[in-house]
Amino acid sequence: MKSAAQTVADVASGASSANEELDRSLGAIRARNDELNVFLYVDEVGARRQADAVDEKVRRGEDPGVLAGVPIAIKDNLCQRGIPTTCSSRILEGWRPPYSATVIERLLAAGAVPVGKTNLDEFAMGSSTENSAFGPTKNPLDPTRVPGGSSGGSAASVAADMTPIALGSDTGGSIRQPAALCGVIGVKPTYGLVSRYGLIAFASSLDQIGPFAKDVRDAAILLEAIAGHDEMDSTSLPEPAPSLSAHVDDGVAGKRIGLVRDLVDGADDEVVDAVEGAAQVLRDAGATIVEMSIPEFRLGLSAYYILAPAEASSNLARYDGVRYGLRVDADDVTAMNEATRTAGFGDEVKRRIMLGTYALSAGYFDAYYGQALKVRTMMIDAFARAYRDVDLLLGATTPSVAFKLGSKVSDPMAMYLSDIFTIPTNLSGEAAVSVPFGTGEAGLPTAVQLLGPARSEARLFAAARILEIAEGR
């Protein structure tokens, strides 16, 4: 499938049309969705309506938008008016939102064509998209392996050429980790850069919406389109969307980049080789590589698995069988609540609700939640010290290439370790991008992660582009 940038150029010039691009996307979905289980819902009617509107604007000589005619996949924890939205959970059975997320409204205004909702780990809780109530998604590069999670469906849509771009959400690595395992670009923006209005919450202080794309330029165009202040989100940064695509080719000459050993240690040999190879490419492009250790990063996993479940236990209390979604009748309200939540939530969601409720309970709050907040502050301070010395950081995105389906489902700790390198950025609220770089076991892609301070997306994209060029992409 052609890039988003090329699609926009073709549609705007009349060389193609939004409907032709949509036909290609729908054909690719029909060809592989039964095999891969990427899309939970395909909105062919709505997509056709949007494509018609874009083509009509072109016919009239009007500006069709910066994403004119580009098919895009939407993770199914983002509300779209009238479209089934499940979070891959039985608890939201039959629910169709009466409103759309701000990012959906901005995509439509930019001329993008949302084609449907993609599979995810239930309520975005997982690292493999095996926790979905509607079955696992498979990795398009090797269907015996996972696509990563929780945004595995969105990553797989781009990797399988079903859509050139997609949206996911990143709470502890849920964009970057599946991007790495599927061999695509994945961006976790600065917290507050993209509105969370209409994103069904997992952990509100950590969640952030971001792009998947085949290349850096497409990711930059998509992030520009969805970023910027939104009065509907109290955590939204009070500033317009940044200029990003204009800086993709800025390069890294004169930049200082920290190679963080704590974001490499414990990774498989081929992942270590990829990080060291990426460091050399950046050095050859004019950057100074500074080896450094940030030991606070090693505490991130423990802090995250207290803070995120604590927030989840509160956010998921609203699913009670009363107002919307699944309802299991019982003799009284308390019994109905219990029966509904027992039937509606999967094992991993229940596990995290229990962990979070325990961490917030009387007698344990200070020992667990309070301590985790202190670790988070330490993490923020550690990042700040690092960025006084360097412009960006470099490390691995994941410890390994995509693992086999079913290989970690019975061992939650092994699954949680998949996010060990991505979690620190969520705790600090800063920016990061995963870039495919190198190959590992069975020819599957490895990836590296570039991290930057808040609002450093333009710098990150410029560095990511250098690595992309080195890979011949």
Residues tagged active-site: 75, 150, 174
Q: What span, in angstroms and rounded, lies between the C-alpha atoms of 19 and 70?
A: 10
Structure tokens at 441: 């076991």
Where does residue 99 fall: left (phi above 0), alpha (psi -120 to 50 degrees), or beta otherwise? beta
CB 210 within 8 A of CB 444: no
Helical ranges in 285-405 per DSSP H: 300-315, 333-344, 347-360, 371-387
CB 37 within 8 A of CB 157: no
Q: Which of 392, 405, 206 is nearest to 310 (CA)?
A: 206
Name the one residue in this structure whose structure tokens are 């165009």.
221
In 3-state terms, what secondary structure has residue 102? helix
Q: Which residues contact 337 (CB under 8 A, 6 or more apart)?
A: 320, 321, 322
Structure tokens at 104: 């959906």
Describe the chain by its helix, strand, coil percentages, rounded to 5: 45, 15, 40
Fill in the amino acid letter for 65: G
Q: Which residues contact 182 (CB under 8 A, 6 or more apart)?
A: 139, 140, 141, 147, 148, 152, 155, 156, 158, 159, 402, 445
Q: Look at the chain and count its residues.
A: 473
